[in-house]
């Protein structure tokens, strides 16, 4: 069985690139092949212009951070971090300084004498990061490193990992199934689907300009409406009884959908060129800074919209009629791929 198909990707020096996909998409396979833990049946892997395809993991000079930390329980924090240096034969007089710098980068200098069992999950993960960067690798591989942590700690460590990367200037290849994490941390995202690359782009491109129905659904929340393409750029959503003109090119060889993000559907007064939809409110979910709404068009089509929480705004109740609008420029035309 082939886990990856025609996987071709160039990563720039100093770039933070995330491989994003659901379980079984091939993202961990890609990382393991890069690390040397899994052979490739064809193709070449090059780091800094040098082919490493046939080199064992220890000769690729890559830092690696796993989800399960993989710390040595019988070693102190400092000893864990020093281990890669000792394995590389680094002079003893240089080891302590490097360990100190690595622990400073992850804000754990005061914990150097502690054992892993004396640390929280977040602290253990930071030790794992320090161990991966202590020998200053040009490329740092991270396999779901925050997956076992609670939400607030994940968000805090996202900032720390980005800060460490900027300090070191290293290249990071990061694997996750969490699309919010990918959007927050990446310079570019690679979306994998069944071993194929579905799209590569910046977080902004992925969110605003998805190239397929799959990517539009996978990255963030969206409303997807089956669309008809008419002549002269005419686009209509028959189920909602709305249409407008769009100059973007599209082929009629596959079905198309219109993707509208919930925050682009608003209750603002009508503006020239806006597309308007009337619906009945079903539910409202309070999320602190924003409120998510679920409504339904008279055709039965579900519509989701999102608004910032404003204390002075009148509260919507279930059964209220809402008039929503979006700009055609905020709607993505995506093929059913």
Domain count of the fold of the chain: 2
Contacts for 149 with CB less than 8 Å, ≥ 6 apart: 121, 122, 125, 157
- What was the pLDDT predicted at 55? 93
pLDDT at 2 over 80: no
User: Which has the closest alpha carbon to 213: 202, 199, 194, 201?
Assistant: 199
pLDDT tens column, 85-144: 998 888 988 999 999 999 998 889 999 999 999 999 889 988 999 999 999 899 999 999
pLDDT of residue 309: 87
pLDDT band at 300 (very low <50, low <70, confident <90, very high): very high
Q: What is the C-alpha separation between 171 and 12, in angstroms, rounded?
A: 8
Decide if pLDDT at 251 tops 80.
no
**Same domain? 125 vs 99:** yes
Q: In terms of domains, do 229 and 202 share one?
A: no
Q: How far apart are CA 223 and CA 277, in angstroms?
A: 13
3-state secondary structure 267-302: CCCCCCCCEEEEEEEEEEEECCCEEEEEEECCCCCE
Q: Is the pLDDT of residue 205 over 70?
A: yes
Instruction: Give the pLDDT confidence of 31-56 residue by residue, as tens digits.
Output: 999 999 998 989 999 998 899 999 99
233 and 128 in a common domain: no
Instruction: Calculate the average pLDDT of the chain.
Output: 91
The token pair that represents 157 in the structure block: 């460590």
252 CB burial (10 A radius; 0-12, 13-18, 19+) = exposed
Is the CA virtual torsion 201, 205, 210, 214 positive or negative?
positive
In a domain, 8, yes or no: no
- Residue 164 resides in a domain: yes
Q: Say yes or no: 170 and 109 in one domain.
A: yes
Work out the percent of the chain whose per-residue pLDDT is above 90. Answer: 65
My answer on whether 129 and 158 are in the same domain is yes
């Amino acid at each position: 069985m082939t886990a990856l198909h025609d996987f071709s990707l160039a990563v720039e020096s100093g770039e933070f690139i995330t491989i994003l996909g659901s379980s079984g998409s091939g993202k961990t396979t890609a990382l393991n092949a890069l690390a040397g833990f899994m052979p490739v049946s064809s193709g070449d892997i090059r780091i800094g212009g040098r082919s490493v395809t046939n080199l064992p993991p220890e000769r690729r000079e890559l830092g690696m951070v796993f989800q399960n930390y993989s710390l040595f329980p019988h070693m102190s924090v400092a000893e864990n971090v020093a281990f890669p240096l000792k394995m590389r034969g680094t002079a003893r007089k240089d080891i302590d300084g490097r360990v100190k710098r690595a622990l400073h980068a992850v804000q754990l200098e005061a914990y150097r004498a502690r054992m892993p069992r004396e640390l929280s999950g977040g602290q253990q993960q930071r030790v794992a990061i320090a161990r991966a960067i202590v020998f200053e690798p040009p490329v740092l591989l991270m396999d779901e490193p925050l997956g076992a942590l609670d939400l607030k700690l994940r968000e805090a460590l996202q900032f720390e990992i980005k800060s460490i990367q900027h300090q070191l200037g290293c290249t990071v290849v990061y694997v996750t199934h969490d699309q919010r994490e990918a959007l927050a941390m990446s310079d570019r995202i690679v979306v994998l689907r069944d071993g194929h690359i579905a799209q590569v782009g910046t977080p902004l491109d992925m969110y605003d300009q998805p190239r397929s129905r799959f990517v539009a659904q996978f990255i963030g929340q969206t409303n997807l409406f089956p669309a008809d393409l008419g002549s002269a750029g005419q686009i209509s959503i028959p189920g909602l009884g709305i249409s407008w003109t769009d100059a973007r090119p599209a082929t009629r060889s596959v079905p198309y959908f219109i993707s509208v993000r919930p925050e682009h559907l608003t209750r603002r007064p009508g503006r020239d060129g806006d597309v308007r939809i009337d619906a009945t409110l079903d539910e409202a979910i309070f999320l602190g800074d924003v409120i998510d709404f679920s409504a339904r068009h008279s055709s039965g089509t579900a519509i989701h919209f999102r608004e910032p929480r404003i204390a002075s705004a009148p509260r919507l109740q279930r059964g209220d009629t809402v008039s929503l609008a979006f700009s055609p420029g905020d709607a993505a035309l995506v093929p059913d791929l």
